[in-house]
Amino acid sequence: MFKLYINPNIKKGHINKEIYGHFSEHLGRCIYEGIYVGEDSTIPHINGMRKDVVEALKKMGIPVLRWPGGCFADEYHWKDGIGPKENRKKMINTHWGGVVEDNSFGTHEFMELCEQLGCEAYISGNLGSGTVQEMSEWIEYLTFDGVSPMANLRAENGHSKPWRVKYFGVGNENWGCGGNMTPEGYANMYRCYQTYIRDYNNEQKINKICCGPNSDDYAWTKTVLKTCFENTPEHLNGHMNGLSLHYYTVPGSWEHKGSATKFDEEEWYKTLNKTLYMEELVRRHSTIMDEYDPQKKIGLIVDEWGIWFDVEPGTNPGFLYQQNTMRDALVAGINLNIFNKHCDRIKMANIAQIVNVLQSVILTEGEKMLLTPTYYVFYLYKNHQEATLVDSYIETTMIGKEDHQVPNLHESVSVDKNGVVNITINNLSVNESYEVESYFTDWNIQQVKATVLTARMDDYNSFDQPEKVQPTEFKDFSVVDQKLKFTIPACSVLHFEIK
Ligand code: AHR
């Protein structure tokens, strides 16, 4: 019997809804086909946006969407993507398959998508190959309400009202595809570019995101923060609202990442062990951030995370299309629990990527669409959005093979604004179920509802069997003397809602 202790009276932080964020890049079939099919498509759409995909994402509770990249962002020139579609410039998508990008999905389309989804916009600007003027004009075009060259141009293109852009990234992976810069070099450019990201509307300030480290590059974090904050004048306070972190779970090596669907138990534990490394990364980067920002005003923004496999056999290697099994579900559940537990520092996270690329929540094939196990994890976790993280601790035992052991159980707990306790708990074991007894401090359990996602480790939803992996009502629990007892099935993600 494993004991879970929950004290809803010890409040540990606010879980920003943006921790449950997503990422969409001009890459493979993510934007084109996955989301946007154009106004002439026979696939049901509203202004070119697939109805089925938009509806599913709304149901899942999408709070924020990042766009247009990724690596694509530092080659994207936003003016090529506005105005009449027939006049839009075509370009080569050099990073992703060398295909022709016709720019038919641009600023207006993205902002319309966010409106249809009812989510916040997170735009990544081009620092690698774009100018300060270009970035500053994009902000003016998006957000200025008045008479100005860019606001006038926006009105000519059919949108007189400005939009709200809550987050703006000043470059992407500038240590790599975004310009191969040194931390000092990038940090100086960040200081300059961010100067011209004006807040035209004081009520709707733009959160500026600085390019942070790749995985465990602690030197990048340290040097960027030092260059941005040491010996800087007072007026630069607040010039950075977030620092990004990218970390992908790669089961094998970058050369041979492994198959999404064909793996054994050893690879299962190895993958989950690699995912759990996120905890150390967050802790160590946060410790460096504490030196420069002890009040935690700057968010750690994990704006690319998820599992990265070899592409599905027979698909374009530049399109990063992969299937999604229960292993992906566990990877999602573990990461989201980690982000919840670090919500004092993590203010946003964006899984890569939303549709048809890497660890997607949705896959499409022509007019068909399916929801992946990862989708259902976001669905089960959605009550954590805007809730309060509370103190919890679960007893565990280590399982798996020697070099890559993992704890058998992994949880996080929050209380929402109506006083409902939400527990999300993962069973990392491939074949063992566990009995758990939960102890609540000063809490009266009146009503318990639970939902579980469980299947065999390599089960997935395909276009032949789109509903193979689905959440179901979970009934294997009892409440005795204010203790919640349950048996968590092997290989599962479980959600309790307790009033
Ligand atoms: O998500 C795919 C790519 O991974 C992104 O374009 C890039 O930022 C990262 O290397």
- Spatial neighbors of 463 by CB under 8 A, at least 6 apart, are 363, 365, 368, 370
- Reference 474, options 495, 455, 456; nearest CA is 495
Q: Are strands 45-46 and 91-93 parallel, antiparallel or unpaired?
A: unpaired
- Residue of minimum CA distance from atom 5 in ligand 1: 70
Ligand 1 center to 373 CA (angstroms):
22
- Reference 70, options 357, 292, 342, 336; nearest CA is 357
Would you say the pTM of this structure is higher than 0.90? yes
Distance between the two ends of the chain, CA-based, in angstroms? 24
- Residues framing ligand 1 (Cβ under 6 A): 25, 69-71, 172-173, 304, 352-353, 358
Cis check: omega of the bond before 68, within 30 degrees of 0? yes
- Cα distance between residue 388 and residue 15, in whole Å: 6
Residues labelled catalytic: 173, 304
pLDDT for res 384: 98
What is residue 162's DSSP assignment?
P
Ligand 1 center to 70 CA (angstroms):
5
Q: pLDDT tens per residue, the chain (499 residues)?
A: 999 999 999 999 999 999 999 999 999 999 999 999 999 999 999 999 999 999 999 999 999 999 999 999 999 999 999 999 999 999 999 999 999 999 999 999 999 999 999 999 999 999 999 999 999 999 999 999 999 999 999 999 999 999 999 999 999 999 999 999 999 999 999 999 999 999 998 889 999 999 999 999 999 999 999 999 987 777 777 799 999 999 999 999 999 999 999 999 999 999 999 999 999 999 999 999 999 999 999 999 999 999 999 999 999 999 999 999 999 999 999 999 999 999 999 999 999 999 999 999 999 999 999 999 999 999 999 999 999 999 999 999 999 988 899 999 999 999 999 999 999 999 999 999 999 999 999 889 999 999 999 999 999 999 999 999 999 999 999 999 999 999 999 999 999 999 9
C-alpha 405, offset from chain centre: 26
- Spatial neighbors of 372 by CB under 8 A, at least 6 apart, are 324, 328, 360, 361, 362, 363, 460, 461
- Residue of minimum CA distance from atom 3 in ligand 1: 70
Mutation test of ligand 1: which of 26, 177, 321 has the most ligand atoms closer than 8 Å to its C-beta? 177
- Quickly list DSSP for 241-308: SEEEEEEEE-SS-SSS---SS---HHHHHHHHHHHHHHHHHHHHHHHHHHHH-TT--SEEEEEEEEE-
Neighbour tally for 153: CB within 10 Å: 15
Ligand 1 center to 259 CA (angstroms):
19
CB 416, CB 383: distance < 8 Å: yes
pLDDT for res 232: 79
pLDDT for res 169: 98
- Which residue carries 């509802």 as its tokens? 449
Q: What share of the chain is helix, strand, coil (3-state, %, to 5)?
A: 30, 30, 40
- Atom index in ligand 1 nearest the CA of residue 96 equals 6
ipTM score for this prediction: 0.99
CATH of 16-385, one of 3.20.20.80, 3.40.50.620, 2.130.10.10, 3.30.70.860: 3.20.20.80
pLDDT for res 65: 98
Q: Which helix (H) or strand (E) holds 124?
A: strand 120-125
Tell me the domain boundaries of the chain.
Answer: 2-7+391-498, 16-385
- Cα distance between residue 94 and residue 351, in whole Å: 23
- Cα distance between residue 312 and residue 356, in whole Å: 11
Q: What would the two tokens of residue 485 be?
A: 């007892």
- Reference 27, options 322, 379, 435, 468; nearest CA is 322
pLDDT for res 121: 98
- Cα distance between residue 396 and residue 379, in whole Å: 25
Cis check: omega of the bond before 70, within 30 degrees of 0? yes
Ligand 1 center to 108 CA (angstroms):
23
- Reference 326, options 456, 429, 210; nearest CA is 456
- Reference 83, options 155, 162, 161, 168; nearest CA is 155
- Spatial neighbors of 106 by CB under 8 A, at least 6 apart, are 78, 80, 81, 82, 88
pLDDT for res 203: 86
- Atom index in ligand 1 nearest the CA of residue 176 equals 10
- Cα distance between residue 371 and residue 352, in whole Å: 15
Question: Rounded to 10 degrees, what is the CA torsion of 110, 116, 122, 125?
Answer: 10
Q: Please, what's the largest Cα pairwise distance for the chain?
A: 70
- Reference 224, options 170, 277, 278, 303; nearest CA is 170
Mutation test of ligand 1: which of 173, 305, 356 has the most ligand atoms closer than 8 Å to its C-beta? 173
pLDDT for res 234: 72
- Spatial neighbors of 59 by CB under 8 A, at least 6 apart, are 379
Exposure string of 329-344, with b = 16+ CB inside 10 Å and e = fewer, is: bbbbbbbbbbbbbbbe
Ligand 1 center to 135 CA (angstroms):
21
- Which residue carries 């934007």 as its tokens? 31
Alpha helix ranges (H) inside 118-182: 132-143, 149-156
User: Class of the 2-7+391-498 domain?
Assistant: mainly beta
Q: If DSSP codes are grouped into helix, strand and coil, which group holds residue 469?
A: coil
- Residue of minimum CA distance from atom 6 in ligand 1: 70
- Quickly list DSSP for 308-344: --PPPTTS-GGG-----BHHHHHHHHHHHHHHHHTTT
- Spatial neighbors of 485 by CB under 8 A, at least 6 apart, are 435, 436, 437, 438, 477, 478, 479
pLDDT for res 402: 83
Burial-class residue 437 by CB neighbours within 10 Å (0-12, 13-18, 19+).
middle
- Spatial neighbors of 482 by CB under 8 A, at least 6 apart, are 440, 443, 444, 445
